[in-house]
Every structure is written in structure tokens, then in C-alpha cells.
Amino acid sequence: MIIRKLAVIGVGLIGGSLARALRAAGQVGDIVGCGRGRENLEKAVELGVIDSYTHEIGEAVAGADMVFLAVPLGAMRDAFTAMKGHLAEDAVITDGGSVKGSVIADCEAVFGKALPGFVAGHPIAGTEKNGVEASFAELYQNRRVILTPVSETDERAIERVEAMWRYCGAEINRMAPEDHDRVLAATSHLPHMLAFALVDMLSRVDYEEDIFKYAAGGFRDFTRIASSNPIMWRDICVANKDAVASLVDSYADEMTLLAKAIREDDIDTLTQMFTNAKKHRDAFIDGI
């Protein structure tokens, strides 16, 4: 058993699925959950995801040798503040935040330096569902987890976090925080922005009722992620604003070019854009 006591701060899809996976693998002893919603935490106990719960982060992390932060990016600094002075000597802290630079900065701001026992991480997994009832043990099977340690991070802490994720069935990669944020802005953050913006735009046209009434599978597939948590994605935009805004600008330029080609019956440009997109999309699918 690699974890004696696991403290899960934020028992939703991500935190709940980690707890379920470790429980299924027999690699965790006691699991304590922490969050604001009593109903969600009581449901987590009922489902066997956690053994007990508290609303106080300091109480949750006391005696824990592994702490997993699954709170919105905007709540990370407060979470670090609440656990300060309550951590066990051997505690390792990791997180599931989608932006790593901001989380590392929050940790350093609270503790005054890079914390050797903090291993910033990001499991590349999830659904548009929320809450502990959406969690399942197989969420991380054959999915990537990116760890972004800094030079001060204890190698033993990294190894413990890597082992934890391996028991969940994940593939672990290490990456510099700034590289992670740049790549995820393109592969995750921008697609969410496009889905949110498209649905928001279409909700305000005068024939909106017919759009959603007759929308077929393509629309449903493309916009699925617009059902994701709005507050979480708001925080991601703020935390990774430079990279995300730059890509949104680039996409807007591409849409301007596309609109011009359509208006002018520019068959060559349209064919070139669509062929290039298909080529790279097919290569991505074949490489999975």
C-alpha cells in the first residue's frame, strides 16, 4: 500500500475518480474528503469513495501522507493557505489543475518558496459531468498525467506521485510548467472556448429555438464540452490568459480568412484549408 492516508480536497469527478481508482487497486488506507457541499460529501461516503469528510482543509490534511487538490484554480491559493501549519512531515501534495504556472505561483506565495513536497500535476482526463456521482475508477486508465516539477521539488515526492498515478492505470509524463500551459492552451483550453462561444452565439440569434431543435450529431459532438463547469473554465481563462487569448486571436484570424474565402467562392483556399485540416486530424487519430 503506497498511501496511508489520502486527503482529497474537492471530491468531484477528478478527486472522486482518483480515490475510487486507488481503492480498487488496494493502494490506499484511509481516505478523507473535504469540500463545501455536505450533500455531495455524504453521497461520497455512501458510495464508498471516501471514509469520512470535513469542511476544514487543515483538519483534512492532518496526518495525511498524500494530499490531492481538486479545487478550481481560483481556489488554489486559499487551499494552500488553509493547509499551512497542518501538514504531516512526510506529506506529499499534488493537484489536478489545468494550468500549472498559476498553481505553482500560488504555492510559492503561501509558503514563501517552492515547496519540496509539492508536485504540480495534471491528469488529462475528464468528462463534462460534475460531482462525486460522476466519478469512476477507470477514468485514468490509459490516460496521460503530466507532472511539472520545478528544480526544488523533491525527487522522492515525484516518485510517490508517479507511483500513485501508475496504480490508477495512467501514463506519466514530465514537462516544464510553461510548456504544459502553452500546449494545453491549444489542445484543451481553446477547444472549450470555441464550444462555449459557439453555443453562446447561437443562443442569441432570432431563430435559436429551431437551431437547438434540429441540431444533429455533429453539433452535439462539437459542443459537448460546453456543458462543462463554467466557473472552472472561467478560472482557467484567467490563469492561462496570455496563451489562451493569443490562440483565440489566431483562431479569429483563421475564421476571417475562411469567411472571406466563402464569400468570394475561393475554391482553392477552401480546398487547401480543409485538406490540411483533414491531413493533421487523421494523423492525430492514427497516432492514438
Same domain membership, residue 169 and residue 184: no
CA distance 45 to 272: 55
**Predicted pLDDT at 286:** 78
Same domain membership, residue 186 and residue 171: no
Cell 460522476 -> residue:
134
Same domain membership, residue 82 and residue 210: no
Same domain membership, residue 206 and residue 132: no
According to DSSP, the β-strands at 144-147 and 121-123 are antiparallel
Same domain membership, residue 26 and residue 11: yes
Long-range (24+ apart) CB contacts under 8 A made by 81-89 are 81/110, 82/56, 82/57, 82/58, 83/57, 83/58, 84/110, 84/111, 85/58, 86/57, 86/58, 86/59, 86/61, 86/62, 87/61, 87/117, 88/61, 88/62, 88/63, 88/64
Residue 236: pLDDT above 70?
Answer: yes
Lowest mean pLDDT among 26-35, 59-68, 121-130, 191-200: 121-130
Q: What are phi and psi of 93, to 5 degrees?
A: -115, 135
Among 175, 204, 234, the domain boundary falls at 175
Same domain membership, residue 281 and residue 168: no
Same domain membership, residue 17 and residue 145: yes
For residue 110, the domain's CATH number is: 3.40.50.720
Among 141, 175, 209, the domain boundary falls at 175
DSSP state of 207: T
Same domain membership, residue 197 and residue 83: no
**Predicted pLDDT at 264:** 98
Same domain membership, residue 105 and residue 17: yes
**Predicted pLDDT at 89:** 94
DSSP state of 140: T
CA distance 288 to 159: 26
Residue 288: pLDDT above 90?
Answer: no
Q: Report CA-CA distances (Å) from 57 to 48, 117, 162, 199, 257.
A: 20, 17, 24, 37, 50
**Predicted pLDDT at 210:** 87
For residue 251, the domain's CATH number is: 1.10.3660.10
CA distance 166 to 12: 20
Q: Quick check: helix, strand or coil at residue 279?
A: helix
State the pLDDT confidence band at 229, using cuts at 50, 70 and 90.
Answer: confident
Q: Which residues contact 224 (CB under 8 A, 6 or more apart)?
A: 128, 195
The pTM score is: 0.90
Mean pLDDT, residues 262-279: 97
**Predicted pLDDT at 251:** 97
Same domain membership, residue 185 and residue 167: no
Among 175, 194, 223, the domain boundary falls at 175
Same domain membership, residue 192 and residue 153: no
Q: 252-270: per-residue pLDDT in tens?
A: 999 999 999 999 999 999 9
Cell 490562440 -> residue:
247
What cell does 61 get?
Answer: 490534511
Same domain membership, residue 83 and residue 66: yes
> Could you list the residue range(s) of the whole structural domain that residue 90 is in?
3-175
- Number of domains the chain contains: 2
